[in-house]
Each structure stands twice: as C-alpha cells, then as structure tokens.
Chains A and B, each alone.
Chain A
Amino acid sequence: MQSPNPISDYKYGFHKPENYAFKSKKGLSKSVVEEISYHKNEPEWMKNFRLEALDIYYSKKIPQWGGDLNHIPFDDITYYMSPTDRKVNSWKDLPKDIKDTYDRIGIPEAEKKFLGGVSAQYESEVVYKSIQKTLSAKGVIFLDMDSGLRQYPDLVKEYFGTIIPPVDNKFSALNSAVWSGGSFIYVPKGIRVELPLQAYFRINAANMGQFERTLIIADEGSFVHYVEGCTAPIYTTDSLHAAVVEIIVKKGARVRYTTIQNWSTNVYNLVTKRMRVEEEAVGEWIDGNLGSKLTMKYPSVYLVGKGAKGEILSVAVAGKGQHQDAGGKAIHVAPYTTSKITSKSVSSAGGRTSYRGLIQMLHSAKKAKTKVVCDALLVDDFSRSDTYPTMDIRHNDIQVEHEATVSKIGNDQLFYLQSRGLKKADAEAMIVNGFIEPIVKEIPLEYAVELNRLIQMEMEGSVG
C-alpha cells in the first residue's frame, strides 16, 4: 500500500491555499453535523435527516469488497468548509508542469486560471447570467444544492434522499450527514434544455465539493444534459470524495449525465449515482474515470416504468498506483424495459481496472432486454484487469447478454504504426484512443479533445 498522500508525486498537482470563512473541526461527530446544518441555516427536517444519516453511517461497516478502503484517514478529514474568500495564487507561481499540462490539453485561458486556483471562480459570470435568463424564462431551475434547499424547500423535501436513501451504503450515509454543494436541477413538463448544463457555470459555490449532493428532476416529456467534472487534473488535499447523485426521469423524459473526473492520486473517490427511470423515459450515464487512488463508482438505472430505457457508458484509465473499480447497474422492474452497458478500461504502468456490474431482472420485467459489453486493454505486463459482472434473472421472458474481452496492445498494430514512422508512445496512444473512441464520441467535443491529449501524455509517461 502506498502512503495515502503522495502529493509531491502527483505530476499535475498543486495546492489551493486555505482561507475559509468557516471550517469544521477535523473528524466527525454529532456536533460537527449540527454545526454544518446550523451554519447553513437549514430547516429542521434537513438537520434531522443529517443526524439520522450519521447514526446509519456509524452502524454500517466499511465494505470489504472492491478496492481496499481500510486506509481512509476518516479522523483526519475536514468534513465541511465554506468556500468563500479564497485567496488567489499568482499565475506565475504555478508549477511549470501544471501550466504545461493545461497548455497541452488545450484548456482555455479563463478556465486555466480557475483550475490553477489563480481565479477563485471560473470567469463565467457573464455566460452563467445569460444562460440563467433563458433557463428561468422556461421555468428551469439550475442552482447549487444549498441554494436549491433555501429557495425550493418543498420540491427538495419531496425528492431528496428518495432515490438513494442514507441506508443504501456507508458512503451514502456519510454524504447524507455532511453533504455540501452539488447541483439542483428541475426541468418542467415538456421543456427541452438544448444547451448542456455544466457544473462550472455555477458561480456561487465550489463546484467540486468533497461531499457534493446532486438532485435532478426531469418532469414529464422534458430533456436535459448535465455535464460535470473536467479532464484537467483537479488537485485537492481532501483524500475522500463521497458524492451522491439522485436523478428522477419522469414519463417520456430523457436525462443524460456526463462525468469526466481526474482527481489527483491521493483521493478515494466513492460515489453513489442512481437514476429512477419511469414509463417510456430514457436515462443515460456517461462516466469517465481517470485520476484518483481508488474509484468505486457504479452508476445505476432503475427501470421502473413500462418501456423505460437505460444506457451506461463507462471508461476507466488506471495508471501507476491506481485502482479504478467502476461499472454500472441496471435493475429492470417494469415490462419492456431495455438497458445497455458498455465499458472500456485501460490499465497501464501497474494500474488496475475492475469492471463490476449488476443486471437484475425482477419477475415483473417481462420482455425486458439487456446487453453488457466490457472490453479491457492491458498496456504492459505488470498491470491488472478484472471483470466481475453479476446477472440475476428471475423470469424467463427476457433476453440477457454479456460479453467481455481482455487483451493487450497488438504487436502487429504497433509494428504497422511504427513502420509508418510513428514513435512507440504515439502509436500506443493512437491505439488506446481508438479503443475508447466509441465512448469518447459521446462526450462533448472539448472534453473529447482534452481526453485524447491526456491519454497521449499518459502513454509518453509509461514508456519513460
């Protein structure tokens, strides 16, 4: 086991200075949770929700499957900080390799400053305001979760914690007790939000909290595409990221949720994401995991309405010292539901990727269909790839398919490209990029371009 905080090893890492208006004591206790709720001036029910969740958190054991979770420094974590008045770095003070990374990935100037901590907020105020204007004209709500709770308490109360209750797992209980930040989105009946809503448009809260909580409600016949994260490396001194994302897709609606995450390699990334998909509705997850020390994340679709459809695309890249334990789950409850899970994983430089998934078809899911495809690529001989799918089928009038392959980069492919004058690293990057292409083409263009460049850099690193 590596030391949990190899900050200096992280080649894109940098420090964000701490200057918080309010910061809880290290470690977790009832008074810390009460303090968070008090500080946020929350309604009584939310405080009680948090406290109940804390009891559940204490009562649950640390999961012993998947990755190794026994070294999370729970007592050394600051569970809440209010992100105001952040001191800013000077662009000049940023380490050269970070600036180089940003340049090579091709991140716009304004965004670079935000990511580098030079500007406390991504300078998107103008963009955000004009987007907010068009959105509110249509009745769309797009706020951070704390503001959502303040401004729309009834709506939040109706849905909050209904898709992922605190009892779901230890980390959803932890998130429920100490959550902060995240997004709150409501799209009214029949409204299509044409532009993707991006987390970094929000200006009044840190967009990537440690325990963020996102709730999206797409009313009947509506459509929204939500994008969070970014391909550029995010440095954080917090070693635990435990988010909860709850999405309700009502009759005939469609929600697509795209995540690309690249945490620094000291982070345990343990996220619970779930969609409830109702009649004739469509729920889609596109989930990219690049960084972190250990990621355990299995976005799921609960297909509860007749004809509901779920799709999960997952891409995981594990480098040195990393374990990406990712996948997807589809629970078929209603008849004529369909789901598809596609997973692509790349292990290099001793990294480990594991696909873990579940397909469950209940007795009520007549004529349901599902297909799972997992492909894994091993770049060198000291990396590892696992596949752990589960198919639990309780009815015969269904169709279930699962297939997986694990292979290395073909020598003949490498030879061909090198004979055309490409360097080995370039050839490898080209093959890896081709391998994950079916997923990359589904993510917004700017992310796709950045992702390709990042893989190029990874491959150069792996050859030395």
Chain B
Amino acid sequence: MKAQKFVLVDSLKSNQTINVLENEKKTVFILLTSGESQDGHVQIDMKGKNSSAQILGVVIGSGKQIINLHTFQDHMAGESQSDLLIKSVLFDCSKFNYEGLIRIEKDAQRSNAYQKNQNLLLSESSWANSQPKLEILANDVRCTHGATIGQINPEQMYYLKTRGLTDASAKKILVEGFIQDVVGRIEDEDIKKKIYGKIETVIRSKL
C-alpha cells in the first residue's frame, strides 16, 4: 500500500491550505502544545474525485493562553471523504475557540464528511467555545458533526481510585486516554511515537 501523505501543522498562520487531489489520501495533524497564544485557519480543499482526508488535532492550553482555531473542510469534488477529530485539554485560565466548517458544494455528490470536537476542561477557569458548522448544498451526502465539552468523568475517576490509584495518576491515565484516541489514528508508527512523546511531555509537566 502506498504510504499516506502526512502533513503536520504545529503552529497557526492566518491561512494554510492543504489540497487533496484525485484518489489522494492525506492525514493532517494539528498539534498545538507550545503554550503560546495563537490564531489561524487551516483549510482542507477536497479538490479531486475520490479524495480522502483525515484531519486530527490535539490542543493543550495552559496559563492565560488563548487559541483560536478555524478549520474548513471544503468538498469541491464528488465521492470525497473527510474525517475530522480535534480534542483539547485546557488547564489554568486557558481559552480555546474552535470554529469548524464543513461545506459540501453542489457538485460534490456522494461525499461523506465528519467532524468531531471534544474538549476537556481541567480547571474551573478554563473556557471552551465550539462552533461546528455545516453547509450542505448537495443532497446525496452523509454529514455528521458533534461536539462535547466537559470535565473528567467522575465515575471513571472513582473506578480507578478503587483500584488503588492516586488522584493524580488516575487523572493522568484518563487525560492520556482521551488524547490517545486521536494519536492512535496515525498509521505511521514512527510519526505516532514522535507526536505522542511530545504530547506526553507537556501533559506530564502539568499533571
């Protein structure tokens, strides 16, 4: 099998466009763990027939950081597929604004698009703002999106603590599991390890 093309976006610019052409398969990973406030757009243009994109994202916010992320999955050609999963873990007074748009143009019949944004708020003062949007101009399509915002599930915490884990280590396991769900989707093992290592360092420094 031909290796998937992998694009890493590790800082935001006003606009970054990634084109996905006919029969092409791409994975885009948005990794925002630097601790700096940032603002930007990531646009994925599904330009060719039978193109396919996986868009993954991990955002870790801390301090007084503000992150504004816009994503745009623009389906211009038929039978194209895009699948987005972006998760954030927010510490301290950090704030994450996410706005994601899926647009299926008239000529992009038989396309599928998915979008999921999950946000974990780890402090009382953290904020999340999520706007998952759909604009569908073709009818023979399947689109879903979902968003959740919440804290660590107290039942899961309780379960781990009954197994003898401390509060801190239980929390760490749950947060890492939350992130693992995104990183685990990377096919290339080397890249997966590298990215996960980077995230782990940041999380460990916070928990």
Residues of A in contact with B (beta carbons under 8 Å apart): 363, 376, 378-408
Residues of B within 8 A of A400 (CB): 147-150
Residues of A within 8 A of B148 (CB): 399-402
Residues of A within 8 A of B150 (CB): 396, 398-400
Residues of B within 8 A of A384 (CB): 135-137
Across the interface, name the chain A residue whose C-beta is closest to B128: A393
Interface residue? B109 (CB, 8 A):
yes
- Given A401-B147, A404-B134, A406-B141, 13 other A-B residues pairs in contact with their CB atoms under 8 A: A385-B134, A387-B132, A390-B129, A391-B128, A393-B128, A393-B149, A396-B123, A402-B132, A402-B145, A402-B146, A403-B147, A404-B132, A408-B141
Interface residue? B11 (CB, 8 A):
no
Cβ < 8 Å to A, chain B residues 107-135: 109, 119, 121-124, 126-135
Cβ < 8 Å to A, chain B residues 143-177: 143-151
Q: State how many angstroms separate the Cβ of A155 from the closest Cβ of chain B.
A: 39
Q: State A384–B142 Cα separation when bound (angstroms).
A: 13
Interface residue? B18 (CB, 8 A):
no
Q: State how many angstroms separate the Cβ of A356 from the closest Cβ of chain B.
A: 10
Asked if residues B149 and A381 are in contact (CB atoms below 8 Å), the reply is: no
Closest A-B pairs by Cβ, 8 of them: A396-B121, A378-B139, A400-B149, A387-B134, A403-B146, A408-B139, A396-B151, A402-B147
Q: State how many angstroms separate the Cβ of B40 from the closest Cβ of chain A.
A: 20
Q: State how many angstroms separate the Cβ of A363 from the closest Cβ of chain B.
A: 8
Residues of A within 8 A of B36 (CB): none
The dominant DSSP class at the B interface is strand
Asked if residues B139 and A381 are in contact (CB atoms below 8 Å), the reply is: yes
In the complex with contacts A396-B124, A407-B142, A391-B136 CB distance below 8 A: no
Residues of A within 8 A of B119 (CB): 393
In the complex with contacts A376-B136, A380-B139, A381-B139, A404-B145 CB distance below 8 A: yes
Q: State A394–B123 Cα separation when bound (angstroms).
A: 10
Asked if residues B140 and A389 are in contact (CB atoms below 8 Å), the reply is: no
Q: State how many angstroms separate the Cβ of B134 from the closest Cβ of chain A.
A: 4
Asked if residues B124 and A393 are in contact (CB atoms below 8 Å), the reply is: no
Across the interface, name the chain A residue whose C-beta is closest to B146: A403
Q: State how many angstroms separate the Cβ of A432 from the closest Cβ of chain B.
A: 14
Q: Can you list 22 pairs linking A and B with CB atoms under 8 Å apart?
A: A380-B139, A382-B106, A386-B133, A386-B136, A387-B134, A389-B133, A392-B127, A392-B129, A393-B119, A393-B128, A396-B121, A396-B150, A398-B151, A399-B149, A401-B146, A402-B130, A402-B145, A403-B147, A404-B134, A404-B146, A406-B142, A407-B142
Q: State A386–B136 Cα separation when bound (angstroms).
A: 6
Q: State A386–B133 Cα separation when bound (angstroms).
A: 7
Residues of A within 8 A of B139 (CB): 378-381, 383, 408
Across the interface, name the chain A residue whose C-beta is closest to B124: A396
Interface residue? B138 (CB, 8 A):
yes
Q: State A390–B100 Cα separation when bound (angstroms).
A: 11
Q: State A378–B119 Cα separation when bound (angstroms).
A: 30
In the complex with contacts A379-B139, A390-B129, A391-B130, A405-B144 CB distance below 8 A: yes
Residues of B within 8 A of A391 (CB): 128-131, 147, 149
Asked if residues A385 and B136 are in contact (CB atoms below 8 Å), the reply is: yes
Asked if residues A398 and B134 are in contact (CB atoms below 8 Å), the reply is: no
Q: State A6–B133 Cα separation when bound (angstroms).
A: 32
Q: State A397–B140 Cα separation when bound (angstroms).
A: 40
In the complex with contacts A378-B139, A402-B147, A403-B146, A396-B132 CB distance below 8 A: no
In the complex with contacts A388-B131, A390-B129, A398-B150, A381-B138 CB distance below 8 A: yes
Asked if residues B145 and A387 are in contact (CB atoms below 8 Å), the reply is: yes
Q: State A285–B140 Cα separation when bound (angstroms).
A: 32
Q: State A388–B99 Cα separation when bound (angstroms).
A: 10
Residues of A within 8 A of B144 (CB): 403-406
Residues of B within 8 A of A388 (CB): 131, 133
Across the interface, name the chain A residue whose C-beta is closest to B134: A387
Q: State how many angstroms separate the Cβ of B33 from the closest Cβ of chain A.
A: 20
Across the interface, name the chain A residue whose C-beta is closest to B119: A393
Residues of A within 8 A of B138 (CB): 381
Across the interface, name the chain B residue whose C-beta is closest to A369: B150
Asked if residues A406 and B147 are in contact (CB atoms below 8 Å), the reply is: no
Across the interface, name the chain A residue whose C-beta is closest to B131: A390
Asked if residues A386 and B135 are in contact (CB atoms below 8 Å), the reply is: yes
Across the interface, name the chain A residue whose C-beta is closest to B116: A403
In the complex with contacts A404-B146, A406-B143, A394-B127 CB distance below 8 A: yes
Q: State A376–B136 Cα separation when bound (angstroms).
A: 10
Q: State A396–B121 Cα separation when bound (angstroms).
A: 5
Q: State how many angstroms separate the Cβ of B183 from the closest Cβ of chain A.
A: 23
Asked if residues B133 and A387 are in contact (CB atoms below 8 Å), the reply is: yes
Q: State A397–B124 Cα separation when bound (angstroms).
A: 7
Asked if residues A396 and B126 are in contact (CB atoms below 8 Å), the reply is: yes
Q: State how many angstroms separate the Cβ of B174 from the closest Cβ of chain A.
A: 14
In the complex with contacts A395-B121, A401-B148, A389-B143 CB distance below 8 A: no
